[in-house]
Amino acid sequence: MAGASRFSVERATPASRAFAVVTVLGVAVLASLPWWAEAGTMRLVSEMAYYLALAQLWNLLAGYSGLVSVGQQTFIGLGGYTLFAASDWYGMHPLAAIAVSGLVAAVLSVPIALAVFRLRGAYFAVGTWVVAEICQLFFAQIPKLGGGSGYSLTTTIVGKIAPDRAGRETVMYLIALALAVGVSAAVYLLLRSRHGLALTAIRDSEVASRSLGVDTYRTKLFVYVVSALLTGLIGGFIFLQKLRISPESGFSLNDWTVVVIFMVVIGGIGTLEGPIIGMLVYFAMRELLADYGSWYLILLGVLAVVVMLTAQQGIWGLVTRKFDVHLFPVRRHLRRSAPE
């Protein structure tokens, strides 16, 4: 019919296509860092990378599944201790032990989920934190893993990563970068799959999604186990990089959960762009204000309160509301073409 408009369903936007090109170029530049940057810069970027991965995973749980966990440090600690045990007790190569760390965390997440999924809302959050505290107390009672004082990797195990320190720095940096890119890509692809569609329905209304045939329990369990798997991998990597673990450091609420929640809330919960922005804001403030001691933490808290009061969807929520920009589009949009 002459003059009629045509409609098409699209996911990608001009902004997302341009950002994809920028992302590829940025990752290529970061991958070349070991050949021209200093070791201190590599360590900082490595830390930013694994914190970004942790933030994306927590955002997947809380922002898309409604599982506001305050106990993700459980899987960080489990991953770290698994790596130490696998590499020291059983002589496994430390890089292979990272994969085992993720598998062990995923297996143990199933009985944990069966317990904490009986709780709702604030009780679920507290329940996950209690599980983390129990794990911390449990590992403090194992003398073979150093008990409460901690456990260090031997020089023989460290030497398996690379023969010299510069080589180890390069290997660990590239693994950190791969984890950040891999986890972000995995979360993005998951949200674009049928599981992502189910998660979106659950986030909008769990009752309505259940009435439409979505198996909310299995969907949440699937996401929880996947998140535990990847968090365990990251935990194994973190403590392979640190070369020492203790119950307090492995199951630290402040280091592995509070900081991650800050990043997601500041950047924008329920978006893939939010954790990236939140991570950049956190590290920018940490590097600029760390010399001010406790004032640095006070300013972080003030910023978090201001953002939560003025922009409940975070910084990226303000950007999206004003400019309608989507760098990681996961929803389908109906576009109308010009009439013939």
Residue 261, in any domain of the structure: no
Q: Is the pLDDT of residue 161 over 60?
A: yes
Residue 20, in any domain of the structure: no
Q: Which residues contact 297 (CB under 8 A, 6 or more apart)?
A: none
For 91-100, 269-278, 318-327, which range has the lowest pLDDT when averaged over its residues? 318-327
Question: What's the domain count of the chain?
Answer: 1
Q: Is the pLDDT of residue 163 over 90?
A: no
pLDDT digits (tens, 9 = 90+) for 115-148: 999 998 899 999 999 999 999 999 999 998 888 8
Is the separation of the CB atoms in 177 and 311 below 8 Å?
no
Residue 19, in any domain of the structure: no
pLDDT of residue 82: 96
Range of the domain at 181: 26-252
pTM equals 0.93
Helical H segments across the chain, by residue range: 14-31, 39-59, 73-89, 94-116, 122-139, 155-159, 165-192, 194-204, 206-211, 216-242, 247-250, 253, 259-267, 273-289, 294-310, 314-323
d(CA 128, CA 61): 12
Residue 65, in any domain of the structure: yes
Q: Is the pLDDT of residue 224 over 80?
A: yes
Residue 155, in any domain of the structure: yes
Residue 55, in any domain of the structure: yes
Q: Which residues contact 202 (CB under 8 A, 6 or more apart)?
A: 64, 65, 66, 209, 214, 216, 219, 220
Q: Is the pLDDT of residue 5 over 60?
A: no
pLDDT of residue 109: 97
Residue 287, in any domain of the structure: no
Q: Which residues contact 71 (CB under 8 A, 6 or more apart)?
A: 116, 127, 128, 129, 130, 131, 132, 257
Task: Using the structure block, give the residue that is written with the tokens 């935990």.
Answer: 235
More confident residue, 322 or 284: 284
Task: Give the pair of three-digit tokens for residue 247.
Answer: 């119950």
Residue 318, in any domain of the structure: no
pLDDT digits (tens, 9 = 90+) for 78-115: 999 999 999 999 999 999 999 999 999 999 999 999 99
pLDDT band at 336 (very low <50, low <70, confident <90, very high): low
